[in-house]
Structures are given as structure tokens and as C-alpha cells.
Amino acid sequence: MELPETIVLSRQMEKELAGNQISNIEVANHKCLNIPFKDFYTTIVGKHIHSVTPHGKWFFISLDTHVLLFNPGMGADILYFTSNDNLPEKYQIILTFTDGTGITFRVWWFCYLHVMAVEKLKDHKMTAALGLMPLDESFTLDYFSHLLHKKRGYIKSFLLNQKNVAGIGNFYIHDILFDAHIHPLRKIPSLTETEIEALYNSVRLLLKRSVKLGGSSYEKDFYGDYGGFNAREHFRVGYNSQCPVCHTTIQKIKTGSTSSYVCPKCQPL
């Protein structure tokens, strides 16, 4: 789950949940919490939801005096239900409201569910260190250029670091770099102004398009519907498939802890 999905889900969640009062929460694995479950329970039960906003891969659920912070890790199904009659079969977390509605969280691998007092939110290290989201109004070309100034290392690793840019992951990065004609192992100092502008435009346009389409085609929204954004088929097929532009064979390379699919002709190193 990356920025387009958190944006889509946050909008849907706020539409359905704003004004609702929390009546109960159940958490199967308390390791995802930042405080003991008993304290977590007493802190949030009885509180009202005011808003839901995304920050990168995090959801900020604003309550009366606190903020719920949820990070789905590798991904999660966050589903809305209107009664116990339409509960999903599997979930690890369930949050219910006084009107009988609620949310279930089915986490694919791991997650974080934290609660912080509003005045102490800046002390939450995992979110306080996040960079700007690339669809923020303040994420301008000048800002992006300045962000890259005097930086070293590989451009893919830089973009995936949530402290630099919040919300890009390994699903969207392949198409972002392909559209900008930039190899993932390009060193940041080697990028020209023209390439930086192309990369900036690629990030913004691709993520906006995904939001408009409801997010990734393999991620569910708040109502259980899949998004309409498909990554390019050659990247999904991967090695030995052909570039849709020049028909060169796509190469699979190792980039740090992740793999990348690149066209050696369209994305020269």
C-alpha cells in the first residue's frame, strides 16, 4: 500500500466515519501497539473521529484529544462494515462504533497501530521523520531539486526512503523511473536539471493518475472494491518481456534489498 491507496482510503474513511463514536476495539496481536492494550483501549473508546488524513503510508485518524496512527506495513485490507451481518471472514483488528458500524483491518504481514496525544504527536518518531508527500502543494519542482542537491547514492533508494519522500514504494517506482527514462542505479549527482524535472513530473503525474483510478488494481478500497491502476504489463511479467516503447528485452537487476525491472535502452546507466 502506497500513497495513492492511502489517499483513496482516507477520503472514503473520513466520509463514512467522521462524527462516529468508538465503542470497542479488538486487536489480535498487541505487538503492533505502542502502549499496553489496556491503556490503548481506555484512551480511544468513547472518543469521536473527526478526520482521516494520509501521510505517506500512514493514516492519521484524528480523535477528540488523540490521534490514531496506522501503518499497514506490506499492505492490508481496511474494510468498512455497516453491521455484524457483513463482517469479513478474516481480520486481526476490529474497531466498532456506537451506531453499529465499524472497520476491520486484515494485515498481510505486519502493521503499526499507535495512539498519541495531539500535543505529543511531534514526539512520534516514526511519523515525525517523514518527508513531504509528492502530491502536497508544497512539493514543487524547486523543492524537489533542492531535496536532491548535494545528495549522493542511487536515485531509486533515495525515492523509496520515507524520510526523503513519503509514500512511494516498490510498486510505483518502476513505472516512475521508466517514464522519466532514468535507471534506478543512477547516482543522484549525475542527474541533469532536465532529468530531475522529468522525474518530478513522472512522480506527480503517475501518482495522480492512480488516485483518479482508485489506486492499485490489487488493493481494495474501503468498500472492498479493487482500484483501476495497473502497473505496466512488462514490469509485472518481468524478466524476458519486451519494452513497450523500443521492444528491447527487459532486464531484472538487484537494487539494494529490492529488485528492479529496467529497459537498458530507454533507461541507460
Q: In order of start, what are the domains of the chain with their CATH numbers?
A: 3-128 (3.20.190.10), 141-217+232-262 (1.10.8.50)
What's the confidence (pLDDT) of residue 237?
47
Share of the chain above pLDDT 70, in %: 97
Contact 246, 252 (CB under 8 A): no
Query: What is the structure's pLDDT at 97?
Result: 98
Q: What distance in Å separates the CA atoms of residue 247 and residue 249, rounded to the nearest whole number?
A: 6
Whether the full predicted model's pTM is greater than 0.75, yes or no, is yes
- Grid coordinates given for 117: 496525544
| Number of CB atoms found within 10 A of residue 93's CB | 21
pLDDT score recorded for residue 259: 87
CA distance 212 to 205: 11
Span 128-137, pLDDT tens digits: 999 999 999 9
**Residue pLDDT, tens place only, 22-35:** 999 999 999 999 99
Low-confidence ranges of the chain (pLDDT < 50): 234, 237
Residue found by looking up cell 471472514 in the block: 89
Output the pLDDT for position 109.
84
3 state SS of 66: strand
* pLDDT score for 234: 46
Of 204, 200, 56, 58, which is closest to residue 135 (Cα–Cα)? Answer: 204
To the nearest whole number, what is the mean pLDDT of the chain?
A: 94
